[in-house]
Amino acid sequence: MLEIDNLTVEFGTKKVLDGVSLTAEKGKVLGIVGESGSGKTMTALAVMGLLSPDARVAEGSSIQLDGKELIGLPEKKLAAIRGNDIAMIFQEPMTSLNPTMRIGRQLEEALRLHGQKIPSKSWLREKVMEALKEACLPEPEKQYDRYPHELSGGMRQRVMIAMGTICRPDYLLCDEPTTALDVTTEKGILELINRIRTEHNMGIIFITHDLKLLRGFADKVAVMCKGKVVEQGSVEQIFNAPVEEYTRRLIASIPDRQHRRNVKAAGAEK
Partner 1 sequence: MKYIAKKLITLILTLFLISVLVFLIFQVIPGDPVLSILGTEATEEKIESLREELGLNASLPERYFDWLSGVMKGDLGRSYRYKENLNEQMAVSRLVAGKLPVTLTLAGMSLLFIIVLSIPIGILWGGTKHKWLDALLNVLAQFSMSVPSFFLGIIVIYFFGLIMKWFTPGGYVSYKEDFSGYIQYMIFPALTVALPKVAMTARFLRNSIINQLNADYVRTAYSKGAGRTRVLFLHVLKNAMIPVVTFIGVIAAEIAAGSIVVEQVFGLPGIGRLLVSSISTRDYPVVQALMLYIVSAVVIVYFLVDVLYRYIDPRVEE
What DSSP line would sit under 52-117, residue for residue?
A: -TTEEEPTT-EEEETTEE-TT--HHHHHHHBTTTEEEE-S-TTTSS-TTS-HHHHHHHHHHHTT--
Binding mask 151-170 for partner 1 (x = CB under 8 A): ---------x--xx------
Instruction: Give the C-alpha separation, 197 to 165, whole Å.
Output: 10
Which residue, 51 or 58, has its beta carbon nearer to partner 1? Answer: 51
Report how far residue 64's alpha carbon sits from residue 133's, in angstroms, rounded to the nearest whole number: 32
Task: Give dist(CA 214, CA 38) in Å, integer.
Answer: 18
- Residue closer to partner 1 by CB (options 99, 119) is 99
Residue 192 engages partner 1 in binding (rule: CB under 8 A): no
Q: What is the DSSP letter of 197?
A: H
Residue 32: DSSP 8-state: E
Compute the least distance from the CB of residue 240 to partner 1, in Å. Answer: 36
Is position 82 an interface residue for partner 1 (rule: CB under 8 A)? yes
Dist CA 212 CA 152 (whole Å): 25
Q: What is the Cα–Cα distance from 152 to 76, expressed in whole angstroms? A: 34
Using CB under 8 A as the binding rule, whether residue 84 contacts partner 1 is answered as: yes
The three-state secondary structure class of 45 is helix
Residue closer to partner 1, measured from CB, 98 or 152: 98
Per rule CB under 8 A, is residue 13 in the interface with partner 1? no
Q: How far is the CB of 73 from partner 1 (least distance, A)?
A: 13
x/- map, 114-153, partner 1, by CB under 8 A: x--------------------------------x-x----
Q: Which of 34, 39, 83, 177 binds partner 1 (CB under 8 A)?
A: 83
The residue ranges that bind partner 1 (CB under 8 A) are 48, 50, 75-76, 79-84, 87-88, 90, 92, 95-101, 109-110, 113-114, 147, 149, 160, 163-164
